[in-house]
Amino acid sequence: MNEKGVNQTGDAAPTYRRYEEGETAFRSMTDMIFEADGSYKCPVYVHRAPPCQAHCPSGHDVRGWLSIVSGLDKPDEGTAWQAYAFRRMTEANPFPAIMGRVCPAPCQDGCNRDEVDEHVGINAVEHYIGDWAIGHGLAFPAPPTETGKKVAIVGGGPSGLAAAYFLRRKGHACTIFEEGDALGGMMIFGIPAYRTPRDVVNKEIQRIIDMGVEVRLGTRVGTDVTVADLEKDYDAVYWGIGAQSGKPLPCPGAEASNCVSGISFLRAFNEGRLKHLTGRVLVVGGGDTAMDVAAVARRLGRTENLPAKDRPENVILGQTVHDVARVARREGADVWIVYRRPISKAPAARHEIDAVIAEGVEIRDNLAPLEVVRGEDGRATHLRVVPVEWKEGTMVAQEGQEFDIEGALIVGATGQAGDYRGIEEFDNGEGLMAADGHHRSPVRPGHFVGGDAITPHLITSAIGHASIAVDSMDRYLRGEDAPRRPKVDVHHFDLVADLRRHGRQPDDYNHQPSWGTCDGNYAVHNYEDRSSSEIVHHQDLFLGHFDHVPMNRRNEPAITPETVVDNFEERFTGFSDEHAIGEAERCMSCGMCLECDNCLIYCPQDAVYRLRKGERTIGRYVDTDYDKCIGCHICMDVCPSGYIRMGLGE
């Protein structure tokens, strides 16, 4: 058998056999170098990036902090493993408690564990660590030195806050200019509080501010403060203004008063102004914003016979505030999602789609909006749509089959744009900002951009932008050119830094020619770091090593159409210590030594040996005696994590 069986999803699953019975041919011509049972190739320990990390827009060292939770990488004496994991986790992202709750976890989409049973519940472990850190009052350390440089950050949302965090880590002073009366941006105004509890958000924001970040609320750059003022008082500017204005539906009639954007709908709800709806709500779109709008609408419920001033659109547009006395007389809202593609192709997380369906939202896909039909009073009464088919990625409308769907409130969630009043020069013509690969603005030197202002996407994407932008900004402030970004542009594990932490770093190299490098202590021997250019895939692993272990799942309340109204309890209940450890132990440590001892056990020459305890660290668990090694490839074949490659001697 060839690592094949049947797993619980009905797909091919690994067994303990790598090769098919009777197979004699090598899989690659480059491996056909054997003489008898040996070759001149000997093993090299090669660190490559795991796909979870490569799929994470903020470049989390996911494998690194999972190895801490699982106990593979142990903290220094006197440090709790949760605190050690938090430090590793927040090297890339300062919001673990928030992200563990709301991130759709693209890291899990790339997890190689899916080839065995199910992916690792990465965001559930992150949720646990984030809550532990809040509960134990963990803070970010102040920078060891101050550079004397000052950066203006425009926008106090996730991208601007992340930029402040990364800037303070490098010792740069920074001031956040936020036109609103609170920090948080879309984490506060764009995501319902039952998904991101406000106390959690506020505590993770405060942790950043406590690093020494100045904040100026109620200050709009472009009117209260000019761009010229920023350039005069600061050494660089970071634009993290987001895209907090929803684009109107791209069809005639969308200017109707009861045709609103998903962003304005969620802001009205999160500010406590919108408390109930009336009639059918049509949500147009298939992204996360559309799912949040639909879920909130179901929870708000509907009240009939509203006076004109209490119509939802008047509240959303800021003309009035709902009377709470009507809340008690609500019933389930009639909510439809209208999407032009198959719902299976929607960009929203599958879990969010399944949740709104379970809560009673109607999904009508493969329908393209044509027109907002309005009544004599100018208000929308129907949405005219046409069924469509998708052929080779092209939408084909079924002409002559148009029909109208009744709706009292039409919410468009099909795009976002920024507000460029007073800063028009930065508008790229599409309501967004332009930036290069280093997140530099082409408009003015010393200006950098990140987050939804470039491309509306995930919070983790905004944080990843901030990290790259701050790297570029740091070099700009030091008068250096920005180097080419790596192919796998993430927060990589650094073996030398880890050796240094344990006091076992290599000696300084004098850069003189010498013999006997294998005995010198100025290099990390038998190790190659390819993580900046290579991702380890499941074909590189020995999947048969791993048992089928069910995923540990967070508790989630079962919300039905009958119980959804006014159900604003938090979506997930976090892990216990045991569940977090158990889930982390499912990680296959792709691209890094798992310390499983397979290579020691199966080496026929006893050429592989463990390092002494005082010499070990992550990635330095075993070594090879090349006087004994015959290059038989067995150690590579039985390495579960794909850490061993046959290459020494080429």
The CATH number of residue 337's host domain is: 3.50.50.60
- Same-domain status, 409 and 428: no
271 and 366 assigned to the same domain: yes
Domain end position, chosen among 415, 434, 453: 415
Verify that 424 and 410 share a domain, yes or no: no
More confident residue, 8 or 457: 457
pLDDT digits (tens, 9 = 90+) for 347-371: 998 999 999 999 999 999 999 999 9
Q: How many CB atoms lie within 10 A of CB 285?
A: 26
Residue 233 shares a structural domain with residue 262? no
Residue where a domain terminates, one of 477, 500, 516: 477
pLDDT at 215: 98
507 within a domain of the structure (yes/no):
no
Q: Are 332 and 423 members of one domain? A: no
Indicate whether 309 belongs to any domain.
yes
pLDDT value for 327: 54
pLDDT for position 30: 58
pTM value? 0.91
Residues 258 and 339 placed together within one structural domain of the fold: yes
In the numeric block, which tokens belong to residue 165? 């965090």
Q: Is 433 exposed, middle or buried (0-12, 13-18, 19+ CB in 10 A)?
A: buried
What is the side-by-side strand order in the sheet with 527-529? 527-529, 42-47, 644-648
540 located within any domain: no
321 shares its domain with 408: yes
Structural domain containing residue 238: 150-244+418-477
Residue 31 has what pLDDT?
59
- 288 with 212, same domain: the answer is no
Average pLDDT, the chain: 90
Considering the domain boundaries, does residue 185 fall inside one?
yes
Beta-bridge mates of residue 623:
609
Long-range contacts of 505-512 (CB under 8 A, 24+ apart): none
What percent of the chain clears pLDDT 70, i.e. is strictly above it? 92
Residue 591's pLDDT band (boundaries 50, 70, 90)?
very high
More confident residue, 585 or 418: 585
Give the number of domains in the chain: 2
C-alpha–C-alpha distance, residues 299 and 333, integer Å? 8
Q: Are residues 211 and 262 in the same domain?
A: no
Same domain, 336 and 430: no
User: What backbone torsions phi and psi does residue 624 show, to the nearest 5 degrees?
Assistant: -125, 135
Q: Is the pLDDT of residue 15 over 70?
A: no
Task: Quick: pLDDT tens for 70-129.
Answer: 999 999 999 999 999 999 999 999 999 999 999 999 999 999 999 999 999 999 999 999
Say if CB 162 and CB 467 are below 8 A apart. Answer: yes
**Each residue's pLDDT tens digit, 530-579:** 999 999 999 999 999 999 999 999 999 889 999 999 899 898 999 999 99
Pair 227, 283 in one domain: no
Asked, for residue 337, whether it belongs to a domain, the answer is: yes
- Establish if 509 belongs to a structural domain: no
Contact partners, residue 643, CB within 8 Å, separation at least 6: 45, 46, 47, 589, 591, 592, 593, 594
Q: Within 10 A of 502 (CB to CB), how many other CB atoms are there?
A: 13
Q: Are residues 299 and 430 in the same domain?
A: no
Phi, psi of 311 (to 5 degrees): -60, 145
Burial label, 406 (beta-carbon count in 10 A; 0-12, 13-18, 19+):
middle
Tell me the average pLDDT across 49-65.
96
Mean pLDDT in residue range 495-524: 80
Is 15 a member of any domain?
no
Q: What tens digit of pLDDT does each residue of 17-33 get? A: 666 777 776 666 555 66
Please give the pLDDT value at position 235: 98
Residue 17 lies in a domain: no
Q: Which of 431, 451, 477 is the last residue of a domain?
A: 477
pLDDT given at position 28? 63
169-181 confidence digits (pLDDT tens): 999 999 999 999 9
